Every structure is written in C-alpha cells, then in structure tokens.
Structure 1
Amino acid sequence: MSESKYFVVKQKAVPEVLSKVVEAKRLLESERVSTVQEATDRVGISRSSFYKYKDDVFPFHDNAKGKTITFMIQMDDEPGLLSDVLHIVADYQANILTIHQSIPINGIASLTLSVEILPNTGDLSSMVEAIEKLEGIQYLKILARE
C-alpha cells in the first residue's frame, strides 16, 4: 500500500476542479440533485473528474470537536488488528460510538467505525495516518462527518 499523506491547503491554492468536486459532493449529500450527472453538470466538471477525485478530496472542518466521524476500513483478517485500531482511537482520546465488522472474505474484513471527536481528542489527521500505517490495513476512507 502506498503511504497516504494529508495536507491542509487554503482554498485559493486548490485547483478549481477539486473545489468543484467538493461542491458536487455537497449537492449530492444535500439531495438538491439526485444523480452524479446532475451534480457535475451543475458545477461544470466531467463525471470522470468527479470519480477520479471524489474519494480523496473533502473540506477540512477545524470545528470537528463534538462531531461524529465514520470510517470504512478494509483490513487483513489477522488476530489483534482490530484491537490495534481501537487502541489508536483510544490513544487519541476519541469516543467509539459504533463498530461493525463483516465476516472476512478472502482474508479481508470490512470495518465500519464511528467515533465522536471530543474536546480533548488529538489531531484527527494524525489519528487517521496512524491507523493507515498499521500492518494489515488495506484501505481507509472517511465516509461521513456529522
């Protein structure tokens, strides 16, 4: 797995296509449009641009404290790996709200994890990076921020 890095960039430095992907995602989430085609037409980008970047760009909210973050993690079916993930969440002092792990298929388990970001929770980007660096983590995506 290639190592992911996270950057916080001021909006004026973000290429226009990435800003439009975020806007299209916002339109879809708010249900003001019902299809990706409608969203991309409205913001003026191609569907291929949307699909290329949709999983990798999202707005940064420095007011994440008190929010719920839901992650989807694909991980090797190895004893102790889930425990390692949960220890990282605990080390960053986030509150675990829900955990759902699927039955592993071909040695890979899917985990959905919702955590509450508390006032004393450490840096969210660092927590995500620490989870991603664990041996056996194949994929991590932030599904929702509420």
Structure 2
Amino acid sequence: MGEATKYFVVKQKAIPEVLLKVVEAKRLLESEKVLTIQEAVDAVGISRSSFYKYKDDIFPFHDNSQGTTITLTFQMDDEPGILSDVLKIIAEYRANILTIHQSIPINGIASLTLSIQVLQTTGDISRMIEQLEGQTSVHHVKILAKE
C-alpha cells in the first residue's frame, strides 16, 4: 500500500520560490490574465516542467479549506476588548465560530482557543490569520488543527 498523503501548513516565507511561482502561474491561468500554460510560466519565470511537477501539490491555504473546521490558538494581552476585536475580525471574514475557550490570564497573558468553520462565503483564511496576527495585543496565532 502507498503512504497516506500528509498535509502541512507552512508560512509563505518558508516556501521555496519555485513553488510560489507555480501558485502565481495557476492564479494567472484561473483569472484568465494568460491563456496558456506557456504564457503563465513565461510570466513568472519558471519552466513548464516545474509547473507540471508541482501544480497539483501546492495551493493557497484558503483554496483547500472550505467546508473544514480550523482550530486556532492565540496568546494575547489580558486587556478589555481584545477578545471582541478578534471575534470581530473572524465575523468580517464570515467564518462560523464553533467553540471559544479562554484560559485564566497568567502574568497578563491570556490563552485563547477558537474552532471556526470555513464556509463557502468565508473570505481568505490566510488573510484573516494575518490580520489577527497583526493586532497589537495579539502575540501569537497558531493553527492547531484542520479537520
């Protein structure tokens, strides 16, 4: 029997440039900014063989997350309104919050675990996580699970 497929969530800065260019070439094709694979690979500066080698194995996180549940963990300051700000961002992206668990703050830092359901109407999850990480009182956001 073959080995089961494994998936990893990796931040963009850790991905080799060729894989990012494959994603960009696919985006150009899907948006019809180019009509052929040759035009797409020429535009991003990779070979056709690189495109074909990786095209089915790399895609933006959001493209493969619809209909799933994602569990996120946060470390954030214990200040009034921070949880509200986090929940507001999730609501803006139209994700469905399934569970919320916040621990008792220790040394002014609270731990929060959220499970969210990604719907067809949900915006780009990668951007949502970036926006959550960008909050001044949020120190850390990590994807714990994707089901």
Q: Please, what TM-score do these two structures have when normalized by structure 1?
A: 0.61
2:103 equivalent in structure 1? 102
2:76 equivalent in structure 1? 75
What SS does the aligned partner of 2:12 have?
Answer: coil
Aligned length: 98
Q: CA offset at residue 127 of structure 1?
A: 0.2
Larger mean Cα displacement after TM superposition, 102-111 or 60-69:
60-69
1:132 equivalent in structure 2? 133
2:12 to 7, 20, 23: 7
Q: CA offset at residue 60 of structure 1?
A: 3.9
1:22 equivalent in structure 2? none
Amino acid at match of 1:76: D
Q: Please, what TM-score do these two structures have when normalized by structure 2?
A: 0.60
| Matches of 1:10 and 1:109, distance apart in 2 | 35
**Within 5 Å, which residues of 2 pair with 1:1-146?**
6-7=11-12, 13=19, 60=61, 62-146=63-147
Q: CA offset at residue 62 of structure 1?
A: 2.1
Q: Aligned residues: percent identity?
A: 60
Amino acid at match of 1:93: R
Change in 2 beyond 3 A, CA 1:11/1:98? farther
2:37 equivalent in structure 1? none
What SS does the aligned partner of 2:64 have?
Answer: coil
Q: CA offset at residue 11 of structure 1?
A: 9.6
The answer for unaligned runs of 5 or more in structure 2 is: 1-10, 21-59
What's the RMSD between the two structures over aligned residues? 2.5
Q: CA offset at residue 135 of structure 1?
A: 1.2
What SS does the aligned partner of 2:145 have?
Answer: strand
What SS does the aligned partner of 1:113 have?
Answer: strand
Amino acid at match of 2:117: E
| Matches of 1:110 and 1:127, distance apart in 2 | 19
What SS does the aligned partner of 1:62 have?
Answer: helix
Q: Which has the larger radius of gyration?
A: 2
